[in-house]
Amino acid sequence: MKKVVSFLAVLAVTVFMGSGVVFAVNFSSTTCSAYATFAPEDLRFDVELFHWEGSSYSTSVSTDAINFDTAEVTLGTTTASVTISSDFVKIHSNLKTQKAGTTIYMFTDNTSTSMGQYKAFNGLVQGDTITFNGLVRAGQTEGGSYKDGDFAEIQTKCLSVSSSTLVSLTSPKNLTFNNDAQFEGDRWLADKANTYNNVSLADKDTDGSMHMIGKTGATGGNWIGGTWDNNVYVPWFVDEDVVMFFKAVFRNVSSGDSFGTTTITFSIHAE
């Protein structure tokens, strides 16, 4: 009650000061504290594999690998054959509610010994750039050289679950992948051993665009695309689930060939 009386007394001073009447108000000061503590939450980045069934991604069933339809590939030609997998990845995370400073990268590690018969020994050399991208033709040998079609490049497409494209999609085969159109969530899957202009990617990219698939912080989330602004890459993120589709490009395939990668990796890195 004392605090209410003091407040009214101060108002009285304000009202009557203009008429020359002054009240002396004597009161002692007091302080209080205020707190807001939020419960800690572990970072979550869940990747699930599904096989498309029915007319919606939500009716799909779990699977254990990304498979491509070989019937859609023409054998014995250097002309590219494109096939879109009916298997896809669904990403769920709480990246946006976590403290900034952590990035999720996606890449293959095709030169790793864990690749077995699909280990890439010989990269595709184009000037100062060496790449090991995509599915690897089985049977490469150390000390050999790259042969046309030794890699079937993989392109990914990320769509938020609320995007009009995904909502209306009845089959992954109906998707359109656009070369280098990162603003539409399309991107070529890079390999850890790639070098660009003699600079190694290691497990990160050099320009912010090749591997990054998510970031923590209020301006982060799951990656769905990006654009370039004055030669600076600006990624786009959403705070909802993302569905990722896969396209493979095959060239110079012969009967009996086998392609694969066992190292599609999602890696969490604190900056």
The domain ranges of the chain are: 1-32, 45-270
> What is the per-residue pLDDT for 25?
63
> What is the per-residue pLDDT for 243?
98
Question: What is the rounded CA–CA span in Å between residue 112 and residue 262?
Answer: 10
Strands in the chain per DSSP E:
45-51, 61-62, 81-84, 87-93, 102-107, 124-126, 129-131, 135-137, 151-160, 186-188, 195-196, 199-200, 212-215, 221-229, 232-238, 242-250, 259-260, 265-270
Question: What is the rounded CA–CA span in Å between residue 58 and residue 86?
Answer: 13
Q: Which pTM does this prediction carry?
A: 0.84
Question: What is the rounded CA–CA span in Å between residue 87 and residue 12?
Answer: 74
> What is the per-residue pLDDT for 37?
85
> What is the per-residue pLDDT for 6?
38
> What is the per-residue pLDDT for 12?
40
For the chain, which ranges sit under pLDDT 50? 1-18, 203, 205-209
The region that residue 13 occupies, defined by phi over 0 for left and psi between -120 and 50 for alpha, beta otherwise, is alpha
> What is the per-residue pLDDT for 21?
54
Pairing verdict, β 61-62 and 102-107: unpaired
> What is the per-residue pLDDT for 113?
76
> What is the per-residue pLDDT for 255?
96
